[in-house]
Amino acid sequence: MHKKWKYKDLDKEKVIEISNKYNISELLATVMVNRKILKDEDVNIFLNPTRNNFHDPYLLLDMEVAIERIEKAIENNEKVIIYGDYDVDGITSITVLKKFLKDCGLEVDYYIPNRLNEGYGLNKNAIDKINSENYSLIITVDCGISGIEEIEYANSLGIETIVTDHHEPMDILPKAIAVIDAKRKDNKYPFKSLAGVGVVFKLIQALGMRRNMDENSYLKYLDIVCVGTISDIVPLVDENRVIAKLGLMLVKVTKNPGLRALLNASGYKEINSNTISFGIAPRINACGRMGFEKEAVNLFLTNNIVEANSITENLNKYNRERQDIERRIFEEALAKIEKDGLENKNSIVISSENWHHGVIGIVSSKITEMFFKPSILLCLEDGIGKGSGRSIPGFDLHEALTNLSDYLDKFGGHEMAIGLTVSESKIEDFKRKFEEYASEKEVDKILPILEIDKQINLKDIRIDSVKELELLEPFGEANKRPVFVYKNLKVDSIRALSEGKHLKLVLRDGNTYINAIGFNMGELSKDYTIGDKVDIAGNLEINSFNGKEMVQINMKDIMISY
């Protein structure tokens, strides 16, 4: 599906000013201006953040109360348990807090609900277990803000709770002794989009400051904090960028045996945001998805490289199993879509028995990406459909389910991703009503938009200029790789690679040849021929082959020139 190319409004005068002032290429300056990074302070922090660019952790509401309660727990050597989540953000949050509290002289335990049996967040059965083992304090990480009833229940048992979270709160806050979440409606913290592990980092920073510890006592954990932040797809701007940029430097020289073993297993030659997003995160997430969440924590906690390598082998196995299951569900889903003609509808809602709860969200993402329409996959079990859904920009999935809540047992999530439970007897009615809602919102008229930073020409694609774009790393949410358009290129050669999966082009501008690669665009090889004039949109990158470097365009779209 071709995309709508949306060009950024280019302030040429400002680009030249930034380029001259900071001695950077106009290519990089263009991206900086497009992202509104204009002031001296903003430019310096963006390009070269330092440890001085962290905000004061005590600006977070309830931080003072939380630190006093933790100090009391350390002084009295209380039984404290960290309650976390089974994804990368939760796993890294548990790791960082447990290690730092040990540095402070307090050994703490942790609890992660099993994704397949307990689901996300606090639950009363878990609190009963915690109570039976005589814990006096729960510290939640990457969860807890919506645990109103569960925290009330813990209070009734005499267990106190500190909540650290980054999700949207409800109208009322849980009655914990401290609720640390920058998304609180009464928030005064200057940045609201920390990951769960980012909030934990602020907690250990505050505790380190209170105890007059050297700042390296908490900064040394930025490698793990960085992994959780990048993996959780929070916007990589402001304090998240400082965490990610400084953290990646530590990842490259990490002393954590588990992280080092994972990096070696990932097969990535360079360590950057891609390595974390596609090499590290899937392996850690596979543990939670497959029901072995504790192994990921043990990997980061161990100091034994032999044990780290052994656990990493298990993670690789879980990830392969996850990929096999995902592939099977994806193929079955495509067959159902074709059978029911859903590719011609405004939405895709499909259900089946024997689909894995922990994997259907990934498959929903793939289906939404493939057909560019909201999708929901439901796993049927004992008369109940448990599912995950993903959306497209311009269609609020959470709002849609709010309007159709009469057909659902429960649901939660946000605009782009949801989880839901629906009685099997109501599924067909829900499908029909969801399609009607999507039709009313004219989903079929929503086109995928490709944001274009600049139209470029031959002078822009020098190797030094393209390499300089790496200063924009780490890339991620709210800081995507810049996309450029190059027009009127002549196709000199075209072929499909990897059994027709990918597209390889050699293009010509005058006497200069330019290589382009289009991943998962192999079918387009039939639409173009040698001699065609084309416009292409994509990222600029350096391709190294046989010791020789050349600029390559990683295509995101292509069309005939007009």
CB within 8 A of 389, min separation 6: which ones?
364, 374, 375, 376, 377, 397, 401, 413, 417, 418, 419, 420
Q: What is the pLDDT of residues 325-382, one digit of tens each?
A: 999 999 999 999 999 999 999 999 999 998 988 899 999 999 999 999 999 999 998 8
Return phi, psi of residue 195, to 5°. Answer: -75, 170
Which pLDDT does position 290 carry in this prediction? 85
**Best CA proximity match to 503, nearest among 460, 453, 556:** 556
Which pLDDT does position 118 carry in this prediction? 72
Which residue ranges in the chain fall short of pLDDT 70?
1
Which pLDDT does position 154 carry in this prediction? 97
Which pLDDT does position 411 carry in this prediction? 84
Return phi, psi of residue 48, to 5°. Answer: -140, 65
Q: Position 328: which residue type?
A: R
CA 500 to CA 458: how far, in whole Å?
30
pTM: 0.89
CA 217 to CA 206: how far, in whole Å?
11
CB within 8 A of 44, min separation 6: which ones?
none
CA angle 277, 453, 517 (to 5 degrees): 60
**Best CA proximity match to 203, nearest among 187, 225, 188:** 225
What is the arrangement of strands in the sheet containing 348-353, beginning at the earlier edge strand? 348-353, 375-381, 384-390, 417-423, 410-413
Encoding tokens for residue 47?
């390009």
CB within 8 A of 110, min separation 6: which ones?
81, 82, 83, 84, 94, 98, 297
Domains and CATH numbers, the chain: 8-48+451-560 (2.40.50.460), 53-230 (3.90.1640.30), 341-445 (3.10.310.30)
Q: State the DSSP code for 275.
A: I
Which pLDDT does position 547 carry in this prediction? 80
> Strands 533-545 and 484-497: what pairing?
antiparallel
Which pLDDT does position 1 carry in this prediction? 65
